[in-house]
Structure 1
Amino acid sequence: MPEKSDLFWLFFKTSGRVSRAAYFLGQLLLAVIQLFPLYHFKLAPEGSPESEVWLSIFVVVVLATAWPTIVLNVKRLHDLGKSGLFVLVLFVPLVQLVAILLLYVYPGQPGPNLYGRQTNGPANS
């Protein structure tokens, strides 16, 4: 079981590297968190107060998970030996599909690199 500080590092700190598996699982967790209010919004009758509440919750959740999503992408880029600034490519609509696919399938650099000694840890570990 990961420690609380490990989860804080994974989702909120940009230092270090993450492997493909940790990246996938982190993105999956964020997607499930985002899909929960969206699912309830879709179940609520259209135009009802309940649907308005679920839509508002969905918007808040998406905004709240934006930073953790960016952080995971930066750390995955670090594992590939690339600067976190390449995360800006993920904001270009058609390019983002290819870039995200590459983040999921391309293996990270073995051994230490500029962004950390090992995968799945902060830069100073």
Structure 2
Amino acid sequence: MTPEGRRPSMIWLFFSPSGRITRLPFFLSWLFWLLIGGFVVAQMLANENHRTALALWTLALIVSGIVSTLSIAMLAIKRLHDIGYPGPLAICLFIPVLSPIVFIALCLWPGTEGPNEFGQTSDEPGA
């Protein structure tokens, strides 16, 4: 649930560091960004002989890379909040050796039961 007590929105899910999310929304959001990136790369490969189209798809890759990186940081912060850890630990996702370990941990580690100092999750009663 958002800290303001409103129903979660897609903007909140992808671009807000406040609140908590459980394992499933975290994993599905990562999968969403992976599919977006894969689609853009596939379009780049399909248009490798067309300079203008390739340039546009390359620009789309850069923009989607920046947006997805920011979004993934926000998702990790909310996921860390659900586990009960502070958000700045999300920086571990950007350390190459730790990144896969942290990602797997965030996907598998259960969140704290009930409300914690970061609020309650959107799937709790009264949320």
TM over 0.5: yes
Relative distance call for 1:115 and 1:59 in structure 2 (3 A) is same
Instruction: Provide the C-alpha distance between the structure 2 equivalents of 1:10 and 1:47, rounded to a whole number of angstroms.
Output: 36
d(CA) in 1 for partners of 2:22 and 2:35?
Answer: 20
Moved more, 53-62 or 41-50: 41-50
Q: Secondary structure at the match of 2:117?
A: coil
Give TM-score, length-normalised by structure 2. Answer: 0.83
Q: Which residue, out of 106, 114, 117, partners 1:114?
A: 117
Say whether the 8 Å CA contact 2:15–2:74 is kept in structure 1. Answer: yes
Percent identity over paired residues: 30
Q: Which residue of 2 aligns with 1:56?
A: 59
Distance (Å, rounded) in 1 between the aligned partners of 2:14 and 2:87: 15
> What's the offset of the Cα at 1:5?
5.9
Q: Which residue of 1 aligns with 2:44?
A: 41
List runs of 5+ in structure 2 lacking aligned partners: 1-6
Pick one of 6, 9, 14 that aligns with 1:11: 14
- Shift in Å at residue 21 of structure 1? 0.6
Aligned residue-pair number: 119
Please identify which structure carries the higher helix content: 1
TM-score w.r.t. length of structure 1: 0.84
